[in-house]
């Protein structure tokens, strides 16, 4: 958990008691409802914070036609709550995409992919006019790179991609689940990279995205957030970028 101080230019809803991380996630998940355009589809991310948003979304499900989902896990949760899920190819644009982040900086650039859903998340974000990030305050950083950077790779490229990160000073390891390399919703692998400080997220994303075998790098600079609803001890703080 980092201890960066949140920006002060946002609006804060007052909150008296100290809240658990889970309660902060619930708060921001509920706060995100104000950005859902009634009568329109909404883009839905992935993760424990988004799960709170999906639960909140179920309370207004009669006011929207449905959602475009960024993962099998979110699709299953949406459907279980009676929210129709549409294929991204059926949609030309979305007014808003709601998702969490592993890190977000003071310009709205993010590291994402802790839940291995980064590729579909970036696709749905790219379809959307506005990215609203929901996160607790431990995610706010001055410079991206404290959280291991997820990168989805085609398995035959893994060793070469690991060497390319080593040349940049990073150490990349293949993510495992149950003793096996984790397989994403897209049938690929994830490497997590530590030891990098990402001072120029746009340039970094542009460069790594071109490496052969890289499906998606978990830096979201081209698809950065325009809004962050940050759960803090003082309540939900709204950061506009």
The interface region with ligand 5RP, picked from 4-12, 79-87, 93-101, 190-198 by CB under 6 A, is 93-101
* Residue placing its CB nearer to ligand 5RP in the complex, 6 or 47: 47
Cβ atoms 14, 235 nearer than 8 A: yes
Q: What are the angstrom distances between the C-alpha of 58 and each of 83, 110, 141?
A: 7, 27, 31
Instruction: Return the closest-CA partner of residue 36 out of 9, 6, 62.
Output: 62
Does 99 sit near ligand 5RP (CB under 6 A)?
yes
- Out of 48, 59, 142, 240, the only residue in the binding site for ligand 5RP (CB under 6 A) is 48
205, containing H or E segment: helix 201-208
Cβ atoms 71, 11 nearer than 8 A: no
214, containing H or E segment: strand 214-217
- Out of 6, 108, 115, 231, the only residue in the binding site for ligand 5RP (CB under 6 A) is 115
The interface region with ligand 5RP, picked from 32-40, 57-65, 98-106, 169-177 by CB under 6 A, is 98-106
Residue with tokens 């490497």: 191
Smallest gap from Cβ 46 to ligand 5RP, in A, equals 4
Does 117 sit near ligand 5RP (CB under 6 A)?
yes
* Residue placing its CB nearer to ligand 5RP in the complex, 99 or 192: 99
Question: How far is residue 164's CA from residue 55's CA, in Å, rounded to a whole number?
Answer: 41
Does 101 sit near ligand 5RP (CB under 6 A)?
yes
Residue with tokens 């007014």: 95
Question: How far is residue 52's CA from residue 32's CA, in Å, rounded to a whole number?
Answer: 10
The residue annotated as part of the active site, out of 40, 103, 121, 152, is 121
Between β-strands 189-194 and 171-174, what pairing exists: parallel, antiparallel or unpaired? antiparallel
| 121 part of the active site | yes
Applying CB under 6 A, the site for ligand 5RP has a residue count of: 17
Does 116 sit near ligand 5RP (CB under 6 A)?
yes
Positions marked catalytic: 121
- Interacting residue ranges for ligand 5RP, rule: CB under 6 A: 45-49, 99-102, 112-118, 121
């Amino acid at each position: 958990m980092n201890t960066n101080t949140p920006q002060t230019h946002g609006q804060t809803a007052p909150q008296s008691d100290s809240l658990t991380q889970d309660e902060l996630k619930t708060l921001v998940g509920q706060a995100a409802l104000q950005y859902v355009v009634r009568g329109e589809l909404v883009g839905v991310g992935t993760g424990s914070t988004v799960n709170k948003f999906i639960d909140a979304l179920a309370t207004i499900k009669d006011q929207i036609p449905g959602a475009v989902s960024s993962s099998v896990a979110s699709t299953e949760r949406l459907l279980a709550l009676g929210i129709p899920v549409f294929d991204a190819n059926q949609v030309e644009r979305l007014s808003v995409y709601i998702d969490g982040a592993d890190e977000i900086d003071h310009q709205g650039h993010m590291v994402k992919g802790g839940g291995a859903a980064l590729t579909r998340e970036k696709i749905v974000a790219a379809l959307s006019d506005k990215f609203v990030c929901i996160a607790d305050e431990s995610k706010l950083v001055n410079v991206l790179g404290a959280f291991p950077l997820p990168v989805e790779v085609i398995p035959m490229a893994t060793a070469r991609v690991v060497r390319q990160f080593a040349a940049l000073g990073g150490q990349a390891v293949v993510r495992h689940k149950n003793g096996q390399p984790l397989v994403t919703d897209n049938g690929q692998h994830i490497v997590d990279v530590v030891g990098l400080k990402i001072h120029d997220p746009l340039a970094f994303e542009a460069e790594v995205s071109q490496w052969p075998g890289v499906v998606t790098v978990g830096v979201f600079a081209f698809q950065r957030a325009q809004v962050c609803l940050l759960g803090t001890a003082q309540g939900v703080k709204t950061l506009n970028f």
